[in-house]
Amino acid sequence: MEGDLAHIGAGLAAIGSGAAAIGVGNVAGNFLAGALRNPSAAGAQTATLFIGIAFAEALGIFAFLVSLLLMFAV
Amino acid sequence: MEGDLAHIGAGLAAIGSGAAAIGVGNVAGNFLAGALRNPSAAGAQTATLFIGIAFAEALGIFAFLVSLLLMFAV
Amino acid sequence: MEGDLAHIGAGLAAIGSGAAAIGVGNVAGNFLAGALRNPSAAGAQTATLFIGIAFAEALGIFAFLVSLLLMFAV
């Protein structure tokens, strides 16, 4: 048995990256559901859509960053 | 017992890749639900559909990238 | 105790392949719910259905690919 336990941690962190995509999908999915129900209001909420995506995506990128740090910097 | 601990990490990272598909499915599913309810508004939201898919898919591809790095680069 | 740690990783990666099916099911399920409510609009959304399935399925196939690589290529 060889290898570094940090590599198991890197794989676990990547699960967090994928889990964040569930949040991103929830934001974009609900925007689409609402925008298709009331298209005239969609333009005014586009900024909110990107704010929601950005905050959820950031957490996934943090998890990806932890993966990279565990593989190459620790 | 043989093998490299990084291979366990690669398998864990692949879970993250699959989890991101839940987010992608949420985006596309809500678009379809709305577009079939109000087909005339669907064209205007196609760009938002692909933006949502792209952000969710990116996190899944990050997790897949971690898998590949753990198998072949670490 | 014998065996290769990569085989644990291959099994874990298969979880990701299964998780992606939740996303694919969400896309197809929402299409069916909408198409049965408004059958006349279903034809115009068939392309979107396959786009959504393809993006979600791709992430599951990536996880399956990681499984195969861990079993036969690493």
Predicted-complex ipTM score: 0.93
pLDDT > 70: percent of chain C: 100
> Cβ of C56: how many Cβ atoms within 10 Å?
34
**Nearest CA distance, B4 vs chain C (angstrom):** 6
Of B3, B26, B29, the CB nearest to C6: B3
Chain C neighbours among B 39-68 (CB < 8 Å)? Answer: 39, 42, 49, 53, 57, 60-61, 64, 67-68
Residue B9 has pLDDT above 80, yes or no: yes
- The 8-class DSSP code of residue B39 comes to G
Kindly indicate the confidence band of residue A3, based on its pLDDT and cuts at 50, 70 and 90: confident
- Span B1-73 CATH architecture: Up-down Bundle (1.20)
Query: What's the pTM?
Result: 0.94
Is B64 exposed, middle or buried (CB count within 10 Å of its CB: 0-12, 13-18, 19+)?
A: buried
C-alpha A8, offset from chain centre: 21
* A18 in contact with C, Cβ within 8 Å: yes
Residue B1 has pLDDT above 80, yes or no: no
Q: Hey, which residues does B4 pair with through a beta bridge?
A: A2
* B2 in contact with A, Cβ within 8 Å: yes
Looking at residue C61, its pLDDT comes to 97
pLDDT digits (tens, 9 = 90+) for A13-49: 999 999 999 999 999 999 999 999 999 999 999 999 9
Residue C1 has pLDDT above 80, yes or no: no
Looking at residue A56, its pLDDT comes to 96
Do residues A60 and A14 lie in contact, with contact meaning Cβ atoms separated by under 8 Å? no
Do residues B63 and B12 lie in contact, with contact meaning Cβ atoms separated by under 8 Å? no
Kindly indicate the confidence band of residue A74, based on its pLDDT and cuts at 50, 70 and 90: confident
